Each structure stands twice: as C-alpha cells, then as structure tokens.
C-alpha cells in the first residue's frame, strides 16, 4: 500500500526550507529550550502534598531562620518536564560509544539498579543496631572477598568513596606504616611518573609527602634509569605511586623490577588501579609486588558514573599495610558479623576517612555485576576491552599517529603529530566527534604525549558500533589533514556551540541571581 | 554473556585486522609468573539475572528496613519520604550514564542542574557560594578544616563537643596527615558555645547545629569571638531539612558552612552514597575544593554553563591543588536538586515544620515515661534522653517490640560516660502511632 500523499508535501519546496534555525520558542524540534528553575518556578508552587501541621509547639529555642530562602518550586508535571528536557542536552553511554580514556565508560546493567533499590539495602540506616543489618554486612564481606581474590591481596579497605579517596586510604596506610617503623619524619618523598593522573600527586601532597616526578621512557613506560637515579639516596623515600596498566594504555613491563627497587629502598608500592578493567581476571596485582591499590567500582565494576559521581574506591592492601587499614571494618564474632568502628579497638588503624561504612549503594551494584559475570566472564571482559582498543588502534593507525609502537591494553593513545601544519588541534578533533554523534575521547591527557587523544571503547561495544566510530573518526582525521576549517568551529549540531570558558573563569557567576540580565548576544 | 556484544566470529575477524594471533599477544608485557592461565581460582562462573536476583534478595531480607516499623534512628542520616519522580529523574539514561561534564556542548543538562543546585544550596544555607558537591558531610567537614588553615595560614582547628564523632574523626585523619593540630572538646549535649573560649591562634573552630545530640545553637557569638581573633567559623549540619526553619549559617556569620544533603532526595542506603554540601563566603571561592559550575555564553551568544575555576583542581594543579577530589556525588546532587525543586521554599518550610512537630511529640511522649529524662532542650527533629538502664540493653529490648529506638551515645562516644544516653530522631515518616508504640515499649522496657 502506498501512502496517500494528496495535499501533503513530502519534500521541502524551493522556498519552504527556511535555512535558519531561529524559532519563536527557542526550541529546535525535539530539543526543547528550557529556562532555569528560578525563571520558571515560584515559591508558592510545590510538587509534594504534605499533611497540615498542627501549629502548636516550637522548641527551636529562638534559633529561627530570618529571611526565607525564596527557592522556587514546581509541580510534578513541570518538574519532570524540566529535568527530562535538560537530560536531552546530555550525551550518555546509553546513546552510544563513550570513548573517554581512563574513565571506563561501559554499559551500566539495569539489574544492578534494581538490586540496589531493594528495600533491605536502600532503606536501611547506617547506625541501626548491627543485628538488624546482617545482610548488608554480608554484602560487604562477599564483595570484599571477590576483590581480594581478583587481586590476590590479603586485605581490603571498603570505605573509600571514590578512586582519589582510595588513593588517600593507601597513602595514609603507607604513612602510618612508616610512622610505626619510626621513619615517618624521615621518609617524605613519593615518586610519581609525569604521566600520572592529577589525583596521584594531589593525594600524596594531602598526606604531607613531597612529590618527585619520574620521567617516561620513549616507549611510554617508566624510565627505569631515571627511577634508579632517584633511588641512589633512598633514605627519604616513602614509596611510588604508579598506574598499571598506565595512563598511556600500556602495561608497565618492568613492574616487578620497579616493585623490587622500591621495596629494597624501604618504600611501598601504591598502584593506581583505575585501569584494572584491562587485566581483571588475567593478572592479579598481588602477583606483581603491589602494596596498595584502589579499585574504582564505577569503572571496572560498572556502577554508573552519574554525571560525575558517586563512585567507590575500595583499596586492597598487602600484609605489610593491612594493620593500618581505616575503620570501620568487619570482623566475624559468635553473634555474627560486626563492625570495628573505633580507633580504640584498632589502635594501629590510621583512623576514619568518612562517616559510616562506605558506598553501600555501589557495593550492591558492583556485587550484582560481579556475580553476573563470574570469574570466567570477568576474564572475558578484560580480553574484549583490550581487543576492542587494539582494533581501534589498528583501524586508525594509517590516518592518525599512535603515541607508541606496538599493541595497547584497553585504551588506544594517539598524539597530535598527524595534525602538524594543519592548524587543526586535538580539541577540534574532539569537537568534530560531537557532530558525528559521539562523546569525544579524553584529550590532552596523559601529559607526556603532545595533544594526547586517549580512546577507551570498553568491552560493551559491538563490532558494528566500533566500525561506525572508526569510520567517523577516520573521516574527521581526513578532514583535518585537508585543513577543513569547519572543524575549528565544531560542534555545529550539538545542543550548544563552543562555550567561553575564559569568560566563565574571569568573572565567575556561580549561582543565579535575580539581577542576572539574560544574555542575548555575545560580547 | 549478556553484557558482551562481540561474537566469536567478530573476535576472529578483528584479530585478523589487527594482525595478532591471540589475545595473549596483547598481554606480552605481563611478567610470565603473573600470567593466569584461566579464570581466577576459587571463584564461581557467570550466572543469569534470576540467580543474582535470588541471591541478593535473600541477603536484603536479612536487614530490617526503616519502613518496616517504628523507626527513630538519626545521627547524621535521616529517614525521609522521597517523591517517586525523583528516582525516575535520576534514572534517566542521560543523567545516570554520563560522565563529568568536561565537554559542555553535550552536557548542558548536567551543567544546568549543577548551577541550579549551587544556587539552591547557597540560598538554603544563606552563604554566598556553593560547590557542586563533596563525597558526604564528613569529608566536606575535613576539607573545610584544611581550607581554613590555607586561608588563615594557621595550623590549629578546634572541634566542638557536639560535632558528629565520625565527622570529627574524619577531620582529624586528614588534618593529622597535613600536620594540622586538632583540639577536640569534650562531648556535651549543649557544648557548642564552648568554642568561643578556644579561638586564640585557631585557623577555625568547627561547631554543629543541630548537633549530634540534636541541640540547636545560635553560633553568632562564636563567629564574633572567632573573627575578633582572626579565626574562621566553620559550621556543620547533618540534617539539611532543618534549614527550612532554623537560623542559617550565613545569618550566624559562618565563613565556611558544610553539611550532609542526604535528607533531601537521597535514600538511607546504609550510609552511602550521600551528598556533601560545601559553601563559603565568596572571598574564599578560589580556595574551595571540588567542582564548580559557572555561567557563560556559547559561540552563538547563548547562555550556557561550564565547569570553571578548575585551576584549583588536581587535574590542572596536581600537587598544589586545593583537594585531591575528582569524582564527587553527581547523581546524588541531582536527586537533591530535583527533590528541592519539587519542595520549593514553602514545601521545605512545611516539611521542616512537620519534622519539628514530630520531634516535639516524641520528646513529650518519652518524657512522660517514668525514668526518662530528655536532655536536649532546643532541638529540630532529634533529641537525646537518658534512662537508668544501659542504652544498649534498652535498645535491644525495644527491638523485641519492633521499635528501632535510636543510637546509643556510647556507640558514638565510647568511654565518655554516656552509657545510658540514647539519641532519637523523628521525621515526617514517624506517625503518631509509631510514637505511641515507642513510648509504650519504652515504659515496659524500663519498668
Ligand atoms: C588514572 C586515574 N587515577 C585516579 C582517578 C581518580 O578516581 P576518582 O575519580 O574515582 O576519584 C582517575 C579517574 O578519574 C583516573 O583515571
């Protein structure tokens, strides 16, 4: 049957296609313009119906609020629309490949969301009697057991709330171990490769350590000679913070030698485990001489990134560091599982690093993920993640410039060498990808590679999706070499054009104020 | 495997494109002794959704949920009703499965919610600027202490006796690592004003209101005393709903105000993830930890939002950064801002009033029980009370009546001589029947 098209225009007439995207509403088809809640709501509106107060008692003791907050409310239909409209201005894994290197943007299974919302997990209080939360403690124990076995490490601190918080746990344990050895004042120097993520030096500094940078060798690994030279006088060395697989997407092939050198120097080996996805089920960090390593549950174990968090960063510890682990931790007693919550019960512990017992909502999700995959599935995860990255590397090698020779682990790293003399920069490639319907790769990180482009596809992409992505990036690379000027102003098809970050930083507007003139034209 | 899209044929074809023989080739840099030949020993293999659900559900049933009966536990986390639409909003794919908005052209959704959140938090606390969240209230408190030292170039922080002990311990851990001296005042139900005596040479004094015993304190005199000696006042709250009724940190003259945002939008979840709120005076803006979202324009001159002032942060400043925080509490921030938008000012004040009335009713009901002495006199939705019996025995006996009666002070402050003290909270979720059940059970337990 053919469609009756009588009277119905099926193609744009010569003068009907308006060429301009200016609409009265400010919307563009499915993409709705949406103001701030302060512009569309009002303080006498609400999306909750509450019972009437009795209005009798006040025991506030006069400590009462002076001026009202004046915050606007919205009814439920208005609020739902507000957030759904805003959501449509976001890119997400559920929309497509999200090749942000170092961030492991894999699919977030919905089973995990369902499990985390079981009332027995979501609706229990951290301070209710421990006899009434034995199932919650069992979840923590079960997840801890998996993490220790997957890493072949004898202990794990479960409370850290993200990767950087896990780094803090590890470095505080190292600090406590050094103090226990009577060398706390003497050993203050921590070796950190130039290629390290910013959280590594920031964490070490937060623990009172002094950062000593070590260079990268031409092959993207730690420069062993440079490391040795930094250990000639090692009496002040506290340890090393090394990412493995490293931020260039490469396995540190001298890792055991590095661990031995550090240990011989009297220091400890902190391993940044952000890239565990490349090796989970195939290599156990405990077999490499590691003393402490955080695991980002929001990377390897698929808990959602949520637009910037929350995360969770359990930190596995060697026998040497285990006594200094933070409180609380779980012990088994005749009455069941119990938290050791106080420093007085664990005098060697470096103390507490957050309220309560860690990111339970992430534990339930991660455990559901781990049980779903099992030991066999997790090994396949690593293999497919590495295979996908090498496939991208192989397909784009002819057009772009791989930063290093040989195979990669779970992420493919390119430099901007292929852009030389084109006027096109890494950021333009990234913004060009946006127009092709992709989130850009990580750009300008790691710092050791000029104009770095770090691509991490993860294992949850099909070959067809990888091919589509490679085709898109290849075409951008070709356009770049041809000096296509439109790349310099990309994106053209996104909800917003390039934003003026300099202006934002020069005169910061960090909140809405009633006086804010609606800015119609660029200065 | 239901989460792995590659087929065996795909893998073979991709290997051919790459020119590798097997995946083992990719792991050639791994020391031979560390190469596992097969799956990690001692662990089971993959299972389907059904098996996982069965196992997890069984574990969840071993826990007594707050909604299962009368429930009065507070001390830093509070049982509140969350509108159904909040959970719907945070499960939108575009919010749930996206990353930190480093590419603003395709992250305006997240960025605008951050900007709205910062505005809401600033308005609620009466402070000038708020960041886009910390891990939780306790780490926000620790970061505030370290920031105060940076700002004042002093090296001592003083913690009140009413500060939540987990916050105090978290702060001590971070401070000690930074070589900062911590002075901790003796736990006391009504001890916040003591801080005024310890302002000399302090970088900051840290007081909590309502404090861990529920006591409300106007910290204005502490602010004045601190400022007179060049010290900062850091205020802490663990129950953000209180700000619907009580004097704000800004009105008290706080320099930095931090707190836990869980009560608005975030479920109890056994302690995390939560959402740390961090605010300060604008003059300290460039010393703040964490992400900030700012307003700007795009190339077409249209309003838009970006992450800003990132020269404070670890990815730019590395060892000189104001904090090591990277991942924060993004999705909990969204839950907070969505719930706050549903409430609005009137809704929040209304909700706060219901909480306060529930606590007044609870206090009256318990005070009427023989042998009970209510210790907190000025409060919002939480009180401390004392009986003649050890609190652990009382709470265990209440549990047999299906009443979860609160937190024993000895769990908070072991060895502080508060063995008979219980801290109990009442929110809008506590019905009159729940409160009556509590009083009745307590009367029997104490008889
Ligand atoms: C290599 C590396 N280290 C550490 C971190 C910090 O982890 P988080 O953001 O969970 O604090 C990240 C991720 O952001 C990372 O990529």
Q: Which residues of A97-128 are buried (b: 16+ CB within 10 A; e: fewer)?
A: bbbbbbbbbbbbbebbbbbbbbbbbbbbbbbb
Rounded Cα distance, B139 and A443, in Å = 30
- Do A306 and B330 make contact, defined as CB atoms within 8 angstroms? yes
- The whole-angstrom separation of Cα A63 and Cα A65 is 7
Judged by a CB distance cut-off of 8 A, whether residue B367 touches chain A is no
Tokens of residue A510, six digits: 């960090």
Best of B37, B344, B412 to disrupt the A interface (most A CBs within 10 Å) is: B344
Q: Which CATH number does A375-494 carry?
A: 3.90.1150.10
Nearest residue on chain A to B307, judged by CA atoms? Answer: A501
Q: Name which of B71, B97, B241 to mutate to probe chain A: the one with the most chain A Cβ atoms within 10 A of its Cβ.
A: B97
Q: Does residue B288 contact residue B278 with C-beta atoms inside 8 Å?
A: yes
CA quadruple A470, A475, A481, A483: dihedral positive or negative? negative
CB proximity B5 to A under 8 Å: yes
- A255 and chain B in contact, CB less than 8 A: yes
E-strand stretches of B200-337: 204-208, 232-237, 256-260, 276-280, 293-297, 303-307
A-contacting residues of B 213-252, CB under 8 Å? 216-218, 243-248, 251
Chain A partners within 8 Å of B26 (Cβ): 386-387, 390, 407-409
| Beta carbons of B170 and A34 less than 8 Å apart | no
Name the residue in chain A with its Cα closest to that of B431. Answer: A51
Residues in chain B closer than 8 A to A50 (CB atoms)? 347, 350-351, 354, 428
The shortest CB-CB distance from B343 to any of A48, A283, A309 is to A48
Domains A113-370 and A375-494 fall in the same CATH topology: no
How far apart are the CA of A438 and the nearest CA of chain B, in angstroms? 9
- Cβ(A243) – ligand 1 distance below 6 Å: yes
Distance from CA of residue A339 to its chain's centroid?
Answer: 29
Separation CA B402–CA B405 (nearest Å)? 9
Which CA distances in Å does A376 have to A275, B1, B6, B123? 19, 10, 15, 51
pTM recorded for the entire structure: 0.96
Indicate if ligand 1 lies below 6 Å from the C-beta of A272: yes
Q: How far does B49 lie from chain A, in Å, by closest CA? A: 7
Please check whether residue A160 is in contact with residue A181, taking contact to mean a CB–CB distance below 8 angstroms. no
Residue partners of A283: CB distance under 8 A and separation at least 6: B27, B30, B34, B35, B36
Check CB contact under 8 Å for B35 and A251.
no
The answer, for A45 touching chain B at a CB cutoff of 8 Å, is yes
Compare all CA atoms of chain A with the CA of B177 and give the residue at the minimum distance.
A207
CB A491 to CB B106 under 8 A? yes
Q: Closest Cα of chain A to B385: distance in Å? A: 15
Cα(A246) to ligand 1 centroid in Å equals 12
Residue B256: what are its φ and ψ, rounded to 5°?
A: -135, 135
Q: What integer pLDDT is reported at residue A20 of this predicted model?
A: 53
Going by C-alpha positions, the residue among A94, A493, A161 that lies closest to residue A311 is A161
Ligand 1, atom 8: nearest CA belongs to which residue? A163
Distance from residue B325's CA to the centre of ligand 1 (Å): 9
| Residues whose CB is less than 8 angstroms from the CB of residue A281 and which lie 6 or more positions away in sequence, other chains included | A150, A375, A376, A378, A379, A380, A381, A382, B36, B39, B40
Residue A164 Cα: closest atom of ligand 1: 11
Buried b (16+ CB within 10 A) or exposed e, B270-294: bbbbbbbbbbbbeebbeebbbbbbb
Joined together, the tokens standing for residue A200 give 């590594």
Sign of the dihedral defined by the CA atoms of residues A72, A77, A83, A89, in that order: negative
Q: Tens place of pLDDT for every residue, chain A, 523 residues? A: 455 555 665 555 444 444 456 889 889 888 899 999 999 999 889 999 999 999 878 999 999 999 999 999 999 999 999 999 999 999 999 999 999 999 999 999 999 999 999 999 999 999 999 999 999 999 999 999 999 999 999 999 999 999 999 999 999 999 999 999 999 999 999 999 999 999 999 999 999 999 999 999 999 999 999 999 999 999 999 999 999 999 999 999 999 999 999 999 999 999 999 999 999 999 999 999 999 999 999 999 999 999 999 999 999 999 999 999 999 999 999 999 999 999 889 999 999 999 999 999 999 999 999 999 999 999 999 999 999 999 999 999 999 999 999 999 999 999 999 999 999 999 999 999 999 999 999 999 999 999 999 999 999 999 999 999 999 999 999 999 999 999 999 999 999 999 999 999 999 999 999 864 544 433 3
For residue A273, how far is its CA from the centre of ligand 1 (angstroms)? 9
Peptide bond into B362 cis (omega under 30): no
Residue of A nearest to B110 (CA): A307
For chain A, the domains span: 113-370, 375-494
Judge whether residue B132 has pLDDT over 50: yes
CATH of A113-370, one of 2.60.40.10, 3.20.20.70, 3.40.640.10, 3.40.630.30: 3.40.640.10
In terms of DSSP H, where are the helices of B19-135? Answer: 49-60, 84-90, 93-96, 108-125
CA distance B228 to chain A (A): 23
Q: A residues 196-225 near B, CB within 8 Å?
A: 197-199, 201-208, 211
Ligand 1 centroid from CA B313, angstroms = 13
What are chain B's domains?
A: 66-81+345-446 (3.90.1150.10), 84-340 (3.40.640.10)
| Cα–Cα distance measured from residue B75 to residue B164, given in angstroms and rounded to the nearest whole number | 7
Residues in chain A with CB shorter than 8 Å from the CB of B19 are: 394
Task: Report residue B416 as tokens.
Answer: 């502080």
Nearest CA in chain B to A369: B52
Nearest to B343 among A73, A167, A510 (CB): A73
Q: Which residues of B touch A461 (CB under 8 A)?
A: 5
Residue among B127, B145, B271 with most chain A CBs within 10 A, to mutate: B271
- The answer to whether residues B359 and B383 touch, using CB atoms and an 8 Å cutoff, is yes
Rounded average pLDDT over B59-66: 98
Q: Which atom of ligand 1 is nearest to the CA of A311?
A: 10
Tokens (6 digits) for B371: 């042998």
Contacts of B186 (CB under 8 A, 6+ apart): B161, B416
Nearest CA in chain B to A359: B272
- Judged by a CB distance cut-off of 8 A, whether residue B257 touches chain A is no
Contact criterion met (CB < 8 Å) for B268 and A199: no
- The Cα–Cα gap between B28 and B33 comes to 12
Q: How do A268-272 and A292-294 pair as beta strands?
A: parallel
A102 pocket-lining for ligand 1 (C-beta < 6 Å): yes
Mean pLDDT, rounded, of chain B: 97
Indicate which atom in ligand 1 lies nearest the CA of residue A299. Answer: 10
Please indicate whether, in this complex, the C-beta atoms of A111 and B76 are within 8 angstroms of each other. Answer: no
Q: Please answer whether residues B439 and B364 qualify as being in contact, where contact means their C-beta atoms are separated by less than 8 angstroms.
A: no
**In this predicted complex, what is the ipTM?**
0.98
Please report the number of interchain residue pairs, chain A to chain B, with beta-carbon separation below 8 angstroms.
Answer: 746
Please tell me if residue A25 touches chain B, with a CB cutoff of 8 Å: no
CB of A199 closer than 6 angstroms to any ligand 1 atom? yes
Q: Is B11 on the interface with A (CB under 8 A)?
A: yes
- B85/A contact by beta carbon, under 8 A: yes
CA nearest to A287 within chain B: B34
């Amino acid at each position: 049957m053919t469609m009756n098209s009588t009277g119905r225009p099926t193609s744009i007439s010569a003068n009907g296609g308006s060429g301009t995207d200016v609409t009265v509403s400010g919307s563009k088809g499915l993409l709705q313009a949406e103001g701030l809640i302060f512009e569309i709501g009002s303080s006498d509106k609400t999306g909750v119906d509450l019972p009437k107060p009795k209005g009798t008692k006040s025991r506030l003791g006069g400590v009462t609020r002076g001026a009202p907050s004046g915050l606007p409310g919205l009814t439920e239909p208005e609020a739902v629309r507000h957030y759904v409209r805003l959501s449509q201005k976001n890119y997400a894994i559920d929309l497509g490949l999200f090749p942000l290197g170092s961030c492991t943007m894999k699919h977030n299974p919905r089973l995990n969301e369902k499990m985390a919302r079981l009332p027995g997990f979501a609706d229990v209080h951290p301070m209710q009697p421990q006899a009434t939360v034995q199932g919650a403690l069992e979840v923590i124990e079960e997840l801890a057991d998996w993490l220790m076995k997957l890493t072949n490490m004898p202990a794990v601190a479960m409370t850290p709330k993200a990767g950087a918080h896990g780094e803090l746990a590890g470095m505080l344990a190292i600090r406590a171990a050094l103090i226990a050895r009577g060398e706390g004042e003497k050993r203050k120097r921590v070796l950190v490769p130039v290629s390290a993520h910013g959280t590594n030096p920031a964490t070490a500094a937060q623990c009172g350590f002094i950062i000593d940078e070590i260079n990268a060798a031409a092959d993207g690994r730690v420069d062993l000679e440079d490391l040795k030279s930094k250990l000639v006088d090692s009496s002040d060395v506290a340890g090393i913070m090394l990412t493995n697989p490293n931020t260039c997407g490469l396995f540190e092939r001298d890792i055991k030698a590095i661990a031995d050198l550090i240990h011989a120097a009297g220091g400890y080996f902190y391993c940044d485990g952000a890239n565990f996805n490349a090796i989970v089920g195939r290599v156990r960090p405990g077999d490499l001489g590691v003393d402490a390593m955080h695991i980002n549950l929001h990377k390897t174990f698929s808990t959602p990134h949520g637009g910037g968090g929350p995360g969770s960063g359990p930190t596995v510890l060697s026998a040497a560091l285990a006594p200094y682990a933070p409180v609380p931790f779980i012990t088994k007693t005749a009455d069941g599982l119990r938290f050791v919550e106080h420093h007085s019960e664990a005098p060697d512990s470096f103390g507490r690093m957050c309220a309560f017992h860690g990111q339970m909502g992430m534990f339930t999700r991660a455990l559901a993920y781990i049980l779903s995959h099992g030991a066999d599935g997790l090994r396949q995860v690593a293999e497919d993640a590495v295979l996908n990255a090498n496939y991208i590397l192989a397909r784009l090698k002819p057009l772009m410039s791989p930063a290093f020779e040989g195979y990669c682990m779970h992420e493919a790293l390119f430099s901007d060498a292929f852009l030389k003399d084109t006027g096109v920069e890494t950021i333009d490639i990234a913004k060009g990808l946006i127009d092709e319907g992709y989130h850009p790769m990580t750009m300008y990180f790691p710092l050791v590679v000029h104009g770095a482009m770090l691509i991490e596809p993860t294992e949850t992409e099909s070959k067809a999706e990888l091919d589509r992505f490679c085709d898109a990036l290849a075409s951008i690379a070709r356009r770049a070499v041809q000096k296509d000027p439109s790349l310099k102003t990309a994106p053209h098809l996104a909800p917003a054009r390039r934003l003026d970050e300099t202006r934002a930083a020069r005169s910061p507007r960090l909140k809405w104020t009633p006086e804010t003139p609606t800015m119609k034209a660029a200065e | 495997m239901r989460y792995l899209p590659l087929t065996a044929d795909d893998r073979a074809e991709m290997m051919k494109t790459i020119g590798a023989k097997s995946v083992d080739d990719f792991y050639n840099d791994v020391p031979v002794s560390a190469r596992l030949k097969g799956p990690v020993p001692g662990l089971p293999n993959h299972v389907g959704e059904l098996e996982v659900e069965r196992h997890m559900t069984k574990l969840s049933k071993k826990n007594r949920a707050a909604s299962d009966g009368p429930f009065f536990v507070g001390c830093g986390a509070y049982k509140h009703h969350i509108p159904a639409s909040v959970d719907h909003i945070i499960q939108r794919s575009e919010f749930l499965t996206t990353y930190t908005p480093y590419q603003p052209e395709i992250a305006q959704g997240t960025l605008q919610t951050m900007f709205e959140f910062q505005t809401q938090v600033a308005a609620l606390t009466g402070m000038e600027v708020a960041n886009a969240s910390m891990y939780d209230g306790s780490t926000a408190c620790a970061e505030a202490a370290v920031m105060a030292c940076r700002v004042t170039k002093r090296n001592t922080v003083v913690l009140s006796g009413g500060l939540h002990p987990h916050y105090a311990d978290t702060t001590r851990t971070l401070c000690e690592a930074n070589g900062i001296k911590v002075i901790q005042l003796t736990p006391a139900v009504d001890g916040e004003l003591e801080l005024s005596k310890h302002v000399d040479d302090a970088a900051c004094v840290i007081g909590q209101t309502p404090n861990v015993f529920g006591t409300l304190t106007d910290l204005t005199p502490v602010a004045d005393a601190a400022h007179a000696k060049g010290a900062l006042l850091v205020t802490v709250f663990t129950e953000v709903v209180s700000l619907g009724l009580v004097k704000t940190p800004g009105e008290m003259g706080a320099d930095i105000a931090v707190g836990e945002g869980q009560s608005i939008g975030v479920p109890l979840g056994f302690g995390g993830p939560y959402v740390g709120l961090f605010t300060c005076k604008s003059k300290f803006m460039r010393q703040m930890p964490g992400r900030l979202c700012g307003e700007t324009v795009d190339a077409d001159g249209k309003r838009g939002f970006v992450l800003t002032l990132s020269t404070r942060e670890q990815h730019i400043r590395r060892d000189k950064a104001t904090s090591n925080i990277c991942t924060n509490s993004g999705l909990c921030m969204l839950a907070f801002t969505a719930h706050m938008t549903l409430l609005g000012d009137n809704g929040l004040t209304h909700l706060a009033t219901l909480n306060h009335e529930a606590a007044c009713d609870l206090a009256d009901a318990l005070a009427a029980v023989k042998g009970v002495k209510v210790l907190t006199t000025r409060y919002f939705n939480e009180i401390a009370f004392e009986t003649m019996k050890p609190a652990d025995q009382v709470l265990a006996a209440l549990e047999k009546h299906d009443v979860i009666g609160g937190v024993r002070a000895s769990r908070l402050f072991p060895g502080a001589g508060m063995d008979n003290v219980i801290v109990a909270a009442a929110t809008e979720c506590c019905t009159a029947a729940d409160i009556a059940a509590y009083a009745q059970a307590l009367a029997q337990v104490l008889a």
